Chains A and B, each alone.
Chain A
């Protein structure tokens, strides 16, 4: 038995100290209330459909000659990749000379209910790649579902992609640890097509993956940090990011849920994007696949599956300690991820 070496006196003292910390920490919570993610200056350079293409201002004179395009998921917003200077994947890449561009998806309106995966992948992402490509292709860097989009695009347009980086990207959607996939088994996905799905509903779903940790313990932990204004500001930026979720276009979500989660067509070479089949064997360019060891949303096995599916002879894997988001915003893992990606690209540009 783990001995409980705790007296009532010690317990009372701990509660009193905790309450004192909470009372004095309210000021730092108020001060940080408006903390917003986003640290690196950038300019909007192009737009297509629902995509806005940003270029981050380089930090060095000698930027890599091949532009790198970060493709984020439709769920949440890409500001997570640039949360704050010390916790920014984007900043880490800029410091190392990567010419970073990023697609920010505009929120779908009621009129966009019929937007398809092809609209996002082939039309919008495709237009951005075409705009950036100076001949010989660009570097694509996908995050989570954005990684799946990047895979689809690269497989359908291999000549446009010089190097492909996928991070916490689901490839095999039916691995044993995949809770989301398990939960979707009996959902009538046709009903999804009726209307855009609220970002709040998706957030609620993600929270229930680890309900006690994400809805309670996390905030109990916050109290420990209340005397550290910088830590509170970081926490509030994360909160802002987590709960600022755009709605999802109904048709694209249904196609993704059906094609990927339900039927696992990506690994079978049967995923249909705008009438074209995505065959991952068409991916012969260099591939760097980064995934998180403790990822509860995209289990490592779901990402690892990529290795055997692509034709690339230059395939590299990097398993990073941390969770789905932690590998981008954790100070140490961020250095590892940004450093590895930048160096890997540098050798291939």
Chain B
């Protein structure tokens, strides 16, 4: 039974890994780019609370952060007790917890610098394509190689920009811990519950986050990261468009062409020159002097506002011009 459970857990992990790999392949880079930099903070926070960046923590229900907070507090109390060999109160454990979180954040911040510099990792998930793209773009496959190279560069740039943004987010969390520590030392109403303590921590992080979010540094990093993500999308689109063409699937270019065509037709339909002479549809009655009753205006529902217009004739005319 236990083995079955373990196997099921492994399958779950495999599935998660496969999903992430699939999304990475589809979107480029190591993260699903549809969330891009916006999702990073959510993941970061979720990882932080349970046990310091534990893999799989992201999938935990968000309310578990409360239990995780309690567990971490207890863990710190245990560590303090072991070192001092005496009774430890909740306040001391809370301070120790904040210090521990800050130490973990320092490690994560340092790690981000490494990630930012790891250009090769930018396209790790593209495997075979990496070697191909690294060759000089010559001959029959020149176009494909160039597109792959651009994708590679865009992925590396996105990774670097996202890492810079994440670094600021981690720093904001660190500042949040400091903020919470100061709040513990400031005069205020007594905290009589674990929930009160948890809320104090959340308040501290949010206050620090607000300062970071409104800083010039963050605005620049956010802009750079968003731009890099959008550029990566563009590079991926550039690669996919000819692939769609090979499979005779409509791509962005075809959709844009249809859109332009429809807009031109609509403009023609709406222009006074092409609009046929037609009597205006019966307008609803003038506003009554008194309150209307609540009878649904069924007649208005069915009454066409404009005469039916034969779009086929306009298209035909448009084709011939």
Contacts and interface: CB of A to CB of B under 8 A. Distances in A.
Main secondary structure of the interface of A (DSSP, over half): helix
Contact of A62 (B73, B255, B291, B301): B291
Size bracket, chain B contacts:
35 or more
Interface string A111-134: 111100000000000000011001
B222 A183 contact: yes
Nearest to A184: B223
Interface of A: 1-8, 10-11, 14-15, 18-19, 22, 43, 45-46, 55, 57-58, 60-66, 97, 99, 110-114, 130-131, 134-136, 179, 182-188, 191-192, 194-195, 198, 200-201, 204-205, 207-213, 215-220, 222-223
A96 to B, nearest CB: 13
Contacts of B231: 191
Nearest to B303: A131
B94 interface: yes
A200 B255 contact: no
B128 interface: no
Given A4-B190, A62-B293, A134-B283, A213 B305 contact: no
Given A11-B70, A65-B288, A114-B263, A4 B94 contact: yes
B305 A63 contact: no
Nearest to A216: B65
Contacts of B188: 1-2
B220 A186 contact: yes
A211 B205 CA distance: 9
A43 to B, nearest CB: 7
Contacts of A131: 300, 305
A165 B259 CA distance: 34
Nearest to A116: B263
Contacts of B198: 217, 220
Given A15-B70, A191-B227, A204-B38, A6 B193 contact: yes
Nearest to A209: B213
Nearest to A130: B305
B186 interface: yes
A22 B63 contact: yes
Contacts of B294: 57-58, 60-63
A18 B224 CA distance: 42
A119 to B, nearest CB: 9
B36 A4 contact: no
